[in-house]
Amino acid sequence: MSRFAAPIAESIWDMKYRFKSADGTPIDGTVEDTWRRVARALAAVEKEPETWEERFYAALEDFRFLPAGRITAGAGTGRNVTLFNCFVMGTIPDDMAGIFEMLKEAALTMQQGGGIGYDFSTIRPRGAEVKGVGADASGPLSFMDVWDAMCRTIMSAGSRRGAMMATMRCDHPDIEAFIEAKRDPARLRNFNLSVLVTDPFMDAVRQDKPWDLVFGGKVYRTVQARDLWNKIMRATYDYAEPGVIFIDRINAMNNLSYCETIAATNPCGEQPLPPYGACLLGSINLARLVRDPFGEDAELDLQELDELVRTAVRMMDNTIDASRFPLPQQKEEAHAKRRIGLGVTGLADALLMLKLRYGSEEAARQTEEWMHRIAHTAYLASVDLAREKGAFPLFDAEKYLASGTMRQMDEDVREAVARHGIRNALLTSIAPTGTISLYAGNVSSGIEPVFAYAYKRKVLLKDGSRIEEEVVDYAVQLWRERFGDAPLPDWFVDAQTLAPLDHVRMQAAAQKWVDSSISKTINCPEEISFEAFKDVYLAAYESGCKGCTTYRPNPVTGSVLSVSESAEKAPEVDQGADVVYLSEPLERPQALEGTTYKLKWPGSEHAIYITINDIVQGGRRRPFEVFINSKNMEHFAWTVALTRMISAVFRRGGDVSFVVEELKAVFDPRGGAWVNGRYIPSILAAIGGVIERHMIAIGFIEGEGLGLKSDPKADVKVVGEAPRGPACPSCGQYDMQMIEGCMTCASCGYSKCG
């Protein structure tokens, strides 16, 4: 009998988590094989691996503990991938060499499957003087465009695309441009954006005071704080970004405030991290722990919860030692502090089974009790690990007990930590679980309400035809099994009908006992008025949240999936598209024909040599790979990164001429150069020109300036149809919906965030 509660769960496992050979042949025959593989890999670091393997397997069985996707997909495979889902990269220096070194590090991290966060507040504002080169700075947003183009070229481990978070302080001179950046529907599509909001700024907003925009000690402009706040509110109302991160609260509540300062988060916001910080994620599936669901004696099995939490903490701590890391700095940071992010999923389903209405005060109290129980057990489990294996290396008892969340922890936990130390500096976080919640039988994700009780999913059969199958929420399915077609009671509410402040109440209740943060999206109906919407972020701040993200369907990002109990049929994919994207890279023949070009940049001692090799496809030559070489060691890092990224794009197929326009648009604030009577704004733009001339020579594009101006997947419209959600890059269906900051496909389960 299958362990899967729904067909979509098995599909997700097969597509995302099942271990397969390079040719696609399954190695994991069943989901039990997957659990065994993960359990064995995480137990391998133990002194008694066989004993712990059985305990770990028992925790994984029946989807009770759900390690994050990177762990389930990568543990025990021997592949060069990281088991960590999220990273914050190093601090970006305010100079060109340092900026591109950071770009290279980002590419390497994404290549292994990690999502990344960056604070761009460290880059001088647009128009600032760049001393020594006689030019003005192009500002942080211009470099964010470079990061965005890089992200498009990197296909992470498996089918998971890299995700990025960009933050900027509320007092940076370019903050208004940052707030408005995603009004352009084709710009920064691979970024989530959040403003770092400080306590002094919130005080200035309340009192309607002036607010200085400052960089390097210089005041560039002064604005009214309330006007700036309203710009944030209007932007997120109009196109769902930026979110806000209450950065002073995050640092004040950090258990490690004595040895680190945080300025960024991972892509979905649940992990505020220092430079090179890394955190792995896992979730207790509360929906599987309810006894007598919907009955008179319905309750969460607290003893089983405690046992699961203790085992999960050990599994996640072992993952730190079992994982590879893209960069040595990330490994050093992870081992020095041993952060883990244990959270929950299926919360809304569990509340439904206890007849509690999500968003009510009673549901919030129950949520707080459960999260308190999890935190208490997790901390004591980590103390026990410290007694056995040692505390995290940067542990300082006096400073740790006086920091962050530890100040409010239960006295028995504080006493245990003082006596024995603690293995993991931080332990709890609530992550987006869009994909793993589907894998677990379509339980409600994270602490979100049920998004839809039922919807139709299109399934592509081997003969090319499609069928529709119903996808039903886990709790609703249990209700149907017990009560047949009886109407759902009034405590069944979903994300489409909840008031925004109900969302905030639930997030605040959970945050009290989560030492990191929470990924939560407040879904609002399209028809909500701005007046009713604009106080949501303020309510989140006042109630103790560490950040806030909203999503309202809008013309820029599109509408979310239309859902109902009957779930209307989704529109068919437009068959007349001019651009074809291949799901797998083109295979490389043994020999390729190509051309090498010499590029001499004025002022540089050594030339750059650019080799472009072509492949013949359908009787037509197209660029397949690029090699960029120079004897100038100052160019080494970024030329290698550029070689890999451009080649990765070319091998995906489709119309890749947008690469030319992306490169030609790069501006060097130190100044460009005149080459053959034309002004070229940067070396990268010159390389773009070389690639363009090659594309013209082989007939791939017709002439100069005739390449695509941007990646055509960024903005797809079908003439003659009503507005709808964006197309899924995996299956092509227009079924993408925003869940916890992640665009997730209802048809195939693809998630931008993993």
Would strands 218-224 and 210-215 be described as parallel, antiparallel, or unpaired? antiparallel
Asked if 268 and 192 count as a contact pair (C-beta separation under 8 A), the reply is yes
Gyration radius from the chain CA atoms: 26
Q: 681: which 2 tokens?
A: 């704004």
What are residue 253's phi and psi, to 5 degrees? Answer: -95, 10
Q: How many CB atoms lie within 10 A of CB 87?
A: 33
CA 252, 253, 259: angle at the middle one, nearest 5? Answer: 70
Burial class from Cβ neighbours inside 10 Å (0-12, 13-18, 19+) for residue 303 reads exposed
Cα(first)–Cα(last) distance of the chain, in Å?
28
- 3-state SS, residue 663: helix
CA nearest to 120, candidates 93, 98, 152, 150: 93
The secondary structure of residue 715, as a DSSP letter, is S
- 266 catalytic? Reply is yes
- Contact (CB, 8 A) for 51 and 33: no
CA distance 469 to 453: 14
Question: What's the CA gap between 693 and 55, in Å, rounded?
Answer: 61
Active-site choice (151, 268, 545, 745): 268
Quick one: which of 410, 402, 87 has its CA closest to 275? Answer: 87
60 CA to centre of own chain: 24
39/44 Cα distance (integer angstroms): 9
- Give the separation between CA 423 and CA 338, rounded to whole angstroms: 7
Q: Which is the catalytic residue, given 190, 254, 255, 266?
A: 266
Residue listed under structure tokens 């239309």: 562
Q: Select from 527, 447, 142, 441 the least CA-distant residue to 268.
A: 447
Could you write out the three-class secondary structure of 287-305?
HHHEECCCCCCCEECHHHH
297-306: list long-range contacts, CB under 8 Å, 24+ apart: 298/353, 298/354, 298/355, 299/354, 300/350, 300/354, 300/370, 302/373, 305/370, 305/373, 305/374, 305/377, 306/373, 306/377
Spatial separation of the C-alpha atoms in residues 89 and 95, rounded to whole Å: 16
Question: What CA–CA distance (Å, rounded) separates 305 from 450?
Answer: 22
Instruction: Give the Cα separation of 674 and 677 in Å (integer).
Output: 6
268 is catalytic: yes
Active site residue 731: no
As a whole number of angstroms, the distance between CA 702 and CA 696 comes to 6
* Biggest CA-to-CA distance, the chain: 84
Q: Which residue out of 270, 448, 625, 662 is catalytically annotated? A: 270
CA neighbours closer than 13 Å in the CB half-sphere of residue 392 = 30
* Closest to 247 in 3D by CA, of 273, 278, 229: 273
Other Cβ atoms less than 10 A from the Cβ of 439: the count is 29
What 3-state DSSP class applies to 687? helix
DSSP helix/strand/coil, 669: coil
From the CB of residue 679, how many other CB atoms can be counted at a distance below 10 Å?
Answer: 10
Q: Position of tokens 């994909």?
A: 435
Residue position matching structure tokens 């309330």? 226
- By annotation, the residues acting in catalysis are 266, 268, 270
